[in-house]
Structure 1
């Protein structure tokens, strides 16, 4: 997963020494933090150590001490009620490092653990997950039939990732509706920035995530578009799950006057540190032309830092829908080559001191995809006809309404009016025109929705208008 991360190598040295002295990483971790605090809580350390030793020595079966230690750490982290603090081992640690370096294999989703459930935080643009219609807030119940109940975030990530070209079946829940998606794994793009010239000389740049080379890629894209004659820019960070804080700072600095605040970081004691635009961050490169930034409900973390910085410190307008709302900073402490702790260490605040955590950023110009973009997948094992009532039926009505075949108010009831709309759709799309919705009709409608959404982007149209008007 891509988070706001700061790496501090000196932590690794200190904790490695302590880990070698104590029985396990878990015990070492507790001891170290108690020692730093000096608040007389060594009794808690002794309690954990005693339980560990008793289980390890007296349990009626032999136990894996490494798993026991990891379980202790996972237990401690679960008490934080923080989906962004995780202990990662083996492949999961590798997956995180691959993610922030901008290259990994999988389906293209960022996940968090909320209320003991694995939830989609966002999908990455152009990946199989986005094409399959997964959305922020979807709960992943199963992977290839294996329940994720009680599973760690790390285990869930391991199950979902695999060899490029192989399929993985996800059992999902969106609201009260459950459905499955079979997704073919792919290599998630290494490049995080794409660009093109739109009409009226508007330079369009999409940033899919914030990885190690994103600021360089962004600068290169801006220079290309500038050379091609762009008169204004749209920076699209929709569906961007975020990533590295240092990259967000470098990206933001390109659009701000030196000395302008990019963000603030507040530690556990309430002490704040401000980060400001500077030549050190952007190398002296500044964007002088009008800019518009696009956000949505899957813009999170470093993407929100970027959007808020430009909005509040350079009066850049925001277009789209409310962002995700992740206002915390994580760092990584590495214990071994395959074990690392990702821990929330601070809040980050916008330039004016606002904490957007769980609130998100509200755009100046609200524009979004049509309602059919947010419907769930249909249950293709069923056939629907007049007289039935089901959530799927309401979603089908929403889809056909946005596609121009149904003019009624979407409800869960399969009415004669809807049957007429279905017949019309079937007739125009070379299907058996019987007014019933079977698996073949469902697949056809679902594909039409995907095709239409790829052509119809109201938020981008709005951003183009704003971009031209700002010149």
Structure 2
């Protein structure tokens, strides 16, 4: 009996010893100015990895010629980490920047009402001016390159800063230096509260409905459904969907709209290292002749919808080649008012095409006259793209 008790105690001792050994192997004692602290081995590896960052902060705080603010150093380090990827759509946002960004997606913000992106040459390019905003009234056009904001040179490397500089309180002014067709000029524009009305509808002759979507914000899908239901109640026999100068917006809103247009099936596929998804329309679809107007100002979410309509042969695209933004961003909200926007995937149309940098070619390429400016309301006399779309839809009405 005593021998059995000995073996039990020995086994217990071995177990306890192994547990202690494992625990000790996975913790590290780290020397700090005020003493030592025990951390996990994983935490210790992180401390070692970023020790140079801590050393730079300590040196600048203690020895830089002027007194420095540690929070500014930290923000610079965070922004630098995001910027090092050289992806203009991946940015760390401080409290003001994050607030401005989130405000825009809900539909109201202070600014001039233009949407910008970055081209292959790292220029900040106007995707489109937003309807009925100071930018549109000042004559800003799709394709304009913004060279300076308030006399400060800007490029794709500081896209986020440039956007923040263009926004501001109602009644204040911002000066843009713009390059268009090789010529440079300046525009001083007074900021306003930008309230986005993203959906406009009208019944054209022969019971052909017209819906224009200017961008995809949090209310666009609901507004689109209301417009579609109204036109249907008026006896609509075909539809023209105008996505010209639509810079995109929220993917979820695009998918909700696709449910009302596309039969059941794939709308878009996203592919990344950790984010691989297929988005489907629930159907049953529009079931009427459909033409979609696009141009070089049609980007991102509007290209997703247009690409799905073209690939699924639900309707035809009319106009000029789209912008070509085939990247998907997502947001990390850190809970302290700051956030990170980063590219998580590329998106692919139902046929497996990624249009990044290439855009989508319409089924019918139709250019507007050089002297023609798109109107706020549908123009069946001068708008050659709309006229072509109208003819196509009319010919398909049974």
Shared fold (TM-score, shorter chain, > 0.5): yes
Match of 1:153 in 2: 159
Check 1:44–1:465 CA distance in 2 against 1; reply closer, same or farther (3 A cut). Answer: farther
Q: Given the superposition, is the C-alpha separation of residues 235 and 370 from structure 1 closer, same or farther in structure 2, using an over 3 Å criterion?
A: same
Q: 1:172 to 1:219 in 2, by over 3 A?
A: same
Partner of 2:131: 125
Following superposition, the deviation at residue 150 of structure 1 comes to: 9.8
Cα distance per residue 1:152-198 (max 9 Å; x no partner): 33332232123334443211123431101232323323321110111
Which structure exhibits the higher relative contact order, with contacts defined as CA atoms closer than 8 Å and separated by 6 or more residues? 1
Contact 1:131-1:450 at 8 Å conserved across structures = no
After TM superposition, the score normalised by the length of structure 2 is 0.80
Which structure: larger Rg?
Answer: 2
Task: Name the counterpart of 1:229.
Answer: 235
CA contact (8 A) 1:128 1:183 kept: yes
5+ residue gaps, structure 1, are: 1-34, 280-284, 375-448
Q: Which residue is 2:201 aligned to?
A: 195
Shift of 1:62: 1.6
Give 1:146 deviation, angstroms: 4.3
Pairing partner for 2:281 from 267, 277, 283: 277
Q: Distance in 1 between matches of 2:375 and 2:212?
A: 19
Cα RMSD after superposing both structures = 2.8
What secondary structure sits across from 1:252 in the alignment? helix
Give the number of aligned pairs: 352
For 2:66 and 2:315, locate their aligned partners in 1 and report how far apart those are by CA, in whole Å: 63
Closer, same or farther in 2 for the Cα pair 1:450/1:246, shift >3 Å?
A: closer
Higher strand share: 2
Paired position in structure 2 for 1:344 = 343
Whether the 8 Å CA contact 1:210–1:248 is kept in 2: the answer is yes
* Distance apart, 1:116 and its partner CA: 6.0
SS for the counterpart of 2:165 is helix
- State the SS of the aligned residue for 1:133: coil
Aligned to 1:418: none
Unaligned runs of 5+ in 2: 1-41
Cα offset for 1:149? 6.9
| Alpha carbons 2:174, 2:189 under 8 Å: kept | yes
Q: Deviations over 1:15-49 (max 9, x none)?
A: xxxxxxxxxxxxxxxxxxxx79xxx8876533333
User: Equivalents in 2 of 1:149, 1:66: separation in Å?
Assistant: 26
Over 3 Å counting, the alpha-carbon distance change for 1:174 and 1:75 in structure 2 is: farther
CA distance in 2, matches of 1:150, 1:359: 18
Supply the distance in 1 between the matched residues of 2:315 and 2:375 (Cα, whole angstroms).
31
User: Which stretches of structure 1, 4 residues or more, deviate above 6 A after TM superposition?
Assistant: none
TM-score, scaled to structure 1: 0.68
Q: Tell me the equivalent position of 1:317.
A: 316
**2:55 is the alignment partner of 1:50:** yes
SS in 2 for 1:371: coil
